[in-house]
Structure 1
Amino acid sequence: MTSFARLARNLIAGLALFAALPALAQSDDDLLPVTQAFHLTSDASQPGMVKLHWRIAPDYYLYRGRIKIKAAEPAAVTLGEPTLPDGLKKHDEFLGDVEIYHGDVEASVPYTLVDAATRTLALDVQYQGCHEVDPKICYPPNTEHLKLAIGGASTIPAAASPVANGAALLGGPTTTASAGEAQALPVDQAFRFEALVKDHGSLLLRWTMPKDYYLYRDKTQITVASPAGVTVGEPDWPSGTAHHDEHFGDTIVYFDQVELPVPLNGASGATAVAIDVAYQGCLENGICYPVMTRHIKVDLGAGTASVGAPSEEQPAAAPADVAPTPPPPGLAPGGDAPVGFIAAIGLALLGGLVLNLMPCVLPVLSLKAITVLESGESPGAARKHALWYTAGVLAAFAVLGLVIVGIRAAGHGIQWGAQFQQPLAIGLLVYVMLAVGLSMSGVFEIGGSLGNVGSGLAARSGPSGDFFTGVLAVVVASPCTAPFMGSAIAFAFAAPLGVAFLIFLALGLGLALPFLLIGFVPAIARLLPRPGRWMETLKQLLAFPMYLTAVWLLWVLTKQRGADATALVLAGGVLLAMALWWYGRSRGARLSWVFTGVLMVGAAAALWAVHGLPAQGAALRVAADGSVPYSPEKLAELRGAGTPVLVDMTADWCITCKANEKAVLDTDAFKALLTRTGTVYMKGDWTDVNATIAAFLEQYHSVGVPLYVVYPKGGGDGRKLSTVLTYDSVEKALEAAAHP
């Protein structure tokens, strides 16, 4: 079974198990323990047959399809197929048509002993049921270990265990996971808890979770048990990850590790305090643990804290949920159908091809166009240029793909185009574009070939020039998440390493395809004009897109680090231009390299100084368009009030984002649509590094920006829109969200 199929199966199973489980708005103190709600007895008096009988309490029901019986010692006995009566037919939103039991139900299980001298029979009986009136909850699957005396009517329960591997599983079966599927960790391993004394009046609580485990913020409660007069102040929660539960609604969760400063009020005269900390968390796409309580004894004088084991007094029906997640990676933008491998390869190829038309790629292609035109006098030279350029593109995509997939496999988030969030990377690209433009303008040259001009590696003659021009094309192409490209990259992020590698290569092949065709199809090559003196004029003319690209990058840098950063990079650019001018004028002179090197060092120092400048506030970058700056807390507040919300994750370096704003989001018609539907427009600015927005992108398995998510009125899962917006598609989505 593929990893995608396993993910889909687990997601559907988890949703189905708790389809009837709403938020517990009422007290569950009167709910029965699971073994009293579904009282099980057995009868092994008839040789070769075991009868199991459940007496189901009023207002409870048992799922027929959730009853599973197996031998605890398979080598000693062979079990036949259990015989169960027909149940009451019931339609479940996720399980479909099911059968349930009320009152009493009996199952007959035939068996054959391997050794006729065996006098006891050990069975593991698993079942699951629900409470069907308020508070409506479903119990976790419960397993009872029975040891039966063959020939007698007795039940010897070895243990009634709703626990697997030490963790109470509230979102999945307690049976052993199949090969390749991880078991849930014991609670102490899933949520490693520590308490530190910061000073006499405050504590620091720390939770550390393995990959894919998360802790709920609003399920955490901290109370002082003793002494009287000491209370807990307002905990200083850090920013978390926005998470939507079908039953808990919008909430905030924490992955990896969270540290929580907790002030103690009135503790100045106390020497020691005792604190109870209750918390709850889940395994993503898996199970949720019951509320866990830790008892902390703090010696304020010695500055030490001892943490007790988790309380064994778990509630009979702790709030439980398998949080529904957004569609898994590999969904087409705005669609619901998963993208298969062949489709992902096709979309990647097409997406790479479309990148050739993007404004951030065109300047580099202008540089390459000179090479192709120059090589028109020789078909062999044209093929050579095309092959080396393609090799550079493919190598860059392969390295980028391996780095991104490798980082994500290690449990760290990274999104497409994230290098444009780094001021140093932006400044370096400004220098590259400026140098390439100056070379094309004739300020300096490296080598004699018109087609292999530029700066550094990309400007060298021969194969290396073609190769590194391809690399440069990939570097500046990444912020242009073109149509057809997002789904393929999302599929690559979720796919095995080999498949992901092929998808990134397909993206590169699509980007290089036009030049491959020119180099290898003589009919296309013959359409190109013959080389001549006009090429020098064209080369100088094409330098100006390079300068404009540098201007755009400076604008992005201004948004990230302000005018001081722009001034530093401009000053460095002047030093770089002087160095290249001097190199072009004095090439061959003994001191030319020394002077050029000094100027280059000055340009590098100016660029490095940008690194120490503070980031600009995201709220200052939100346009005056009536939007609300994104925060998980504000989104949860709006969702809790039943307000429809459109979340727009954007960035100043995202060309597709700007095109969508121009065509739809900045129009009067869109503003009128927001008013008509009562929708709040929430905007997140990812121009600079922002862990909160990165977590939101990760939550919706988005490889980058733009990301548009519509939340319906009154609750429900968010719906992703296409990365390329039209007014009609947005209007349809917001109308549906306002009138679910």
Structure 2
Amino acid sequence: MVARISAQLRSVFAAFAVLFFALGASLMSASVSAQEVRFGDENIAVELVADGPPVAGEEWTLAFHFTPISREWHGYWSNPGDAGLGMGLTWELPEGWEVGEALYPVPQRLLISELMNHIYEGEYTVLVPIRVPENADVSTVDPITVFAEYLACTDAICVPQDALLEIDTARAITDPRIGRWRAEIAPLLDQTGNFALTGDALRIALPLPAALEVGEPHVFIENIDLVSYTGEQGFARLDDTLLVEIPLGAGIAPEELSGIISFGSETAEGVRFVAAPGLVPTGGEPIAGSMRELPSVWLALVGALAGGLLLNIMPCVFPILSLKALSLAKAGGSEAEARRDAIFYTAGVVLACVALGALMLALRAAGTQVGWAFQLQEPGVVVALLVLAVIITANFGGIFELPTVSTGNSGGASSFGTGLLAAFVATPCTGPFMAAAMGAALLLPEPIALALFAALGLGLALPFLALGFVPALRSKLPAPGPWMERFRQIMAIPMGLTAFALIWLVSRIGGQGFALTALVVVFGVVIALFVVGKLQRSGKLAWPAFGLVAVPFALFGAFALPASYSGASTADAASIHEPLAFSEGALTEARASGAPVFIWFTADWCVTCKVNERVAIEQEEVRAAFEAAGVVTIRGDWTRRDEAITRFLTAQGAAGVPLYLWYPAGSDAPEQLPQVLTPGLLADLPQK
């Protein structure tokens, strides 16, 4: 309470000091030397030093060197923040001599009772350039006089300071400290940045090379009251551009923005910048703060758990789960066996989800731009999934028996393997249920991110885990009988449809030649499975025969698949307004046109994406509404790895697809749409 009151008193005192100095300046005589020093500089002494004598036609540098009487006293930057007072200078110069902009070192932050101050602790120097006219006779110039007014504060008290300073130009020499003081001044970027006021935030694009390490950045805005000084600042990297987002304060939009970006409170390093109104790109890789508010950790964990639970109804997971659940009824084992199977199945699911999540985080930490379900962007992984889906379909169809996914109870290893399989094939379906949780996982600390992946796995395993530990649930399962074999054969239908979808995906990723080669491999596997099934039914040793038949096809695929991979574009000629292919440049140009922009990110392996495109995006009423409003549409295809799209998704807080964004006309801030779309929702967007 005492600190709060003292800070408020200091703020009030600073305001009175500003008023006092302003009145004093208005009443002063024409001669600066006539000014009376009222307060002195005993708390923070000031010294005026020259960089040699002035030279006609050149810039002459004067230095104001401030030395506090002790470490508890501090001075202020030109924009002092929520409280304080910047330095004021009143000059007496020869005619034609002009004072340039004062140059400051990188300031520091001091937060007292929710008031942010921009200060300097210890000694600091402000350089002021003086432009000397070309026709100036510097040998006859009178001494240069300047009256300096500033504020000296501790954490509890503020005291006005002033001093009348003079430099004799005829006797001025270069102070040996000037070189060190110059090095302490924040250098100016050689390029102008852009800024835009969007909603309740100031967004800045600064041209900083990607190789420049920015540490823990903070931006000091020189424009008074434009931003909230205590607001959280967000930063993202987009190639050689640093994107900054700062909550707005009470100021109005300026014609020019200036400030200093600090690279860390411990280093006192940074650069000055100037920015003009212009387009500020979106996207980028967050490097500090957050470009958006993250959901709470507990909310993200609950979302991950619920999303995993819902995955059990997806067509590639439900057959595996249902048959594994019915195996408990058929086996009729003990309570201990049921619990064992449930634990092993859960361990397999959770391990697979955590392993995939850890691999994704490790790849991102190593600089590889990947997102959730990244494995489906690899042609070899998709071919392996295709072969696996065909094997499971054949097993469900009764062509052969495989313990891992059979209806028999073959122990913990079977349950563990089934859990691994269920988690691996479920990842493409996580989009509509896991958007917030997976997006948060990219920005949260690694242990919490891994906990989110574990929660996803636990949700996926929860139904079977409940069956294993709750006898009342198992008692409601139908009694074993011939119907179970028919049910298993029926479950071969959704798995077969999954296999057909994967064939289509293989062709989309690698081209038709790649898909035909993969089908040859699949054909060989199917023949081998028929041979295995026939031998199993006759009671003979089966699996060596599988190797004899399948291995030649596998070797063929190992050589032929890479050679047949075409890498053809996966982009469809979509039917809605002929969308542009996504790039940062295309998005920037579309927003610059002033037209509303609809951008969506999709992938051929994303079930939710394809459903949304069929039932909502490609509908005639949406096309008509967009064309009438002149909407620019942009499509980002993430079927295969695309680092630009991955960076953009990350900046939007999304770990994967689908993602739908709407930019109203003239707006720089997008509205993120739901992951389940309707034609009415899209058709109404231009009327908002």
Residue in structure 2 matched with residue 562 of structure 1 by the alignment: 511
Q: Deviations over 1:361-415 (max 9, x none)?
A: 2233244234243245543332222111111001111111211112222332211
Aligned with 1:341 (options 289, 297, 305): 297
> What per-residue deviation string (whole Å, max 9, x for no partner) do you get for residues 136-156 of structure 1?
xxxxxxxx9x9xxx9985488
1:450/1:593 Cα in 2 relative to 1: closer, same or farther (>3 Å)? closer
- Which residue of the other structure, out of 630, 639, 642, is the alignment partner of 2:581? 630
* Pair 340,570 (structure 1): closer, same or farther in 2 beyond 3 Å: same
For residues 257-272 of structure 1, the aligned pairs below 5 Å read: none
Q: 1:666 to 1:613 in 2, by over 3 A?
A: same
Which of residues 605, 616, 625 in structure 1 aligns to 2:555?
605
Take 1:322 and 1:165, find their aligned partners in 2: how far apart are those partners? 26
2:12 aligns with none
Shift in Å, 1:697: 2.2
Q: Deviations over 1:303-327 (max 9, x none)?
A: xxxxxxxxxxx99957699968569
Equivalent residue for 2:124?
124
C-alpha displacement at 1:647, in angstroms?
0.8
The SS at the match of 1:647 is strand
| Distance change (3 Å), C-alpha of 1:635 and 1:336 | closer
* CA deviation profile, 1:465-485 (whole Å, cap 9, x unmatched): 111111111111111124341
Change (3 A) 1:127 1:677: farther
Change (3 A) 1:614 1:718: farther
Counterpart selection for 1:698 from 638, 641, 650: 650
Paired residue for 1:388, among 337, 341, 344?
Answer: 344
- Residue 375 of structure 2 is matched in structure 1 by 419
CA deviation vs aligned residue, 1:162-187 (integer Å, no higher than 9, x gap): 96787759999xxxxxxxxxxxxxx9
Distance 1:701 1:660 in 2: 20
Structure 2 contact 360–374 (Cα < 8 Å) conserved: no
Question: CA offsets per residue over residues 544-577 of structure 1, 9 Å max, x none?
Answer: 2221111111011122223322222222112112
Which structure has the greater CA radius of gyration?
2
If each structure's helix is expressed as a fraction of its own residues, which one has the higher value? Answer: 2
Q: Does 1:650 align with 2:602?
A: yes
Alpha-carbon shift at residue 45 of structure 1 (Å) = 8.6
Aligned to 1:684, the other structure's residue is in SS state strand
- 1:78 aligned partner, one-letter code: R
Bigger Cα displacement from structure 2, 517-526 vs 628-637? 628-637
- Matched with 2:71 is 78
The residue that corresponds to 2:634 in the other structure is 682
Contact 1:376 / 1:531 at 8 angstroms: preserved in 2?
Answer: no
Q: Deviations over 1:493-538 (max 9, x none)?
A: 1111111111111111111111111111222111111112222222
Give the alignment's TM-score, normalised by structure 1.
0.59
TM-score of the two chains, using structure 2 as the length reference: 0.63
For residues 24-63 of structure 1, give each alpha carbon's deviation from its aligned partner in whole angstroms, at most 9, with x where no partner exists. xxxxxxxxxxxxxxxxx99899363448899xxxxxxxxx
Contact 1:621–1:685 under 8 Å retained in 2? no
| CA root-mean-square deviation | 4.9
Please name the residue that 1:710 is paired with: 662
In 1, Cα distance between the equivalents of 2:503 and 2:335? 40
**1:487-502 maps to which residues of 2 (within 5 A)?**
487-502=436-451
SS at match of 2:305: helix
The equivalences for 1:57-76 within 5 A come to none
Is the Cα–Cα contact under 8 Å of residues 643 and 678 in structure 1 kept in the other structure?
yes
In the other structure, the counterpart of 2:42 is 48
Question: Distance in 2 between the 1:289 and 1:348 partners?
Answer: 41
Residue 497 of structure 2 aligns with an amino acid whose one-letter code is L
SS in 2 for 1:401: helix
Contact 2:405 2:414 in 1 (8 A): no
Q: Deviation digits for residues 198-228 of structure 1, max 9, x if unmatched?
A: xxxxxxxxx8566999xxxxxxxxxxxxxxx
CA gap of 1:590–1:732, structure 2 versus 1, over 3 A, is closer
Shift of 1:73: 7.5
Question: SS of the counterpart of 2:576?
Answer: coil
2:71 is matched by which residue type in structure 1?
A: T
Q: Secondary structure at the match of 1:490?
A: helix
Aligned position for 1:303: none
Cross-structure match for 2:7:
none
CA distance in 2, matches of 1:725, 1:419: 26
3-state SS, counterpart of residue 485 of structure 1: helix
AA partner of residue 655 (structure 2): V
> What residue identity is the alignment partner of 2:391?
A
Q: Take 1:514 and 1:390, find their aligned partners in 2: how far apart are those partners? A: 10
CA–CA separation in structure 1 for the residues paired with 2:627 and 2:667: 19
Corresponding residue of 2:25: none
| Structure-2 residue corresponding to 1:512 | 461
Which residue in 2 is equivalent to 1:433? Answer: 389
Give the secondary structure class of the aligned counterpart of 1:48. coil
CA contact (8 A) 1:328 1:701 kept: no
Answer with 611-620 or 677-686: which moved more.
611-620
Structure 2's unaligned 5+ residue stretches are: 1-34, 49-63, 92-120, 129-149, 153-160, 167-174, 194-206, 217-235, 247-256, 261-270
Kept in 2, the 8 Å contact 1:43–1:154? The answer is no
| Identity across the alignment (%) | 30
From the superposition, tell whether residues 669 and 583 of structure 1 become closer, same or farther in structure 2 (CA, over 3 Å): same
The 5 Å alignment of 1:440-455 reads 440-447=396-403, 450-452=406-408
Alpha-carbon distance, 1:436 to partner: 1.6
In 2, Cα distance between equivalents of 1:127 and 1:720: 47
Secondary structure of 2:595's partner? coil
Larger CA deviation: 43-52 vs 370-379: 43-52
Give deviations 1:296-346, integer Å, cap 9, x for gaps: xxxxxxxxxxxxxxxxxx99957699968569989xxxx975301111111
For residue 702 of structure 1, report the CA deviation from its aligned partner.
Answer: 2.0
Unaligned runs of 5+ in 1: 1-40, 55-69, 88-94, 107-120, 129-143, 173-186, 192-206, 214-251, 256-279, 291-313, 454-460
Measured in 2, the distance between the counterparts of 1:411 and 1:84 equals 37
CA distance in 1, matches of 2:285, 2:638: 22
Q: Distance in 2 between matches of 1:378 and 1:654?
A: 40
Distance 1:537 1:283, change over 3 A: closer
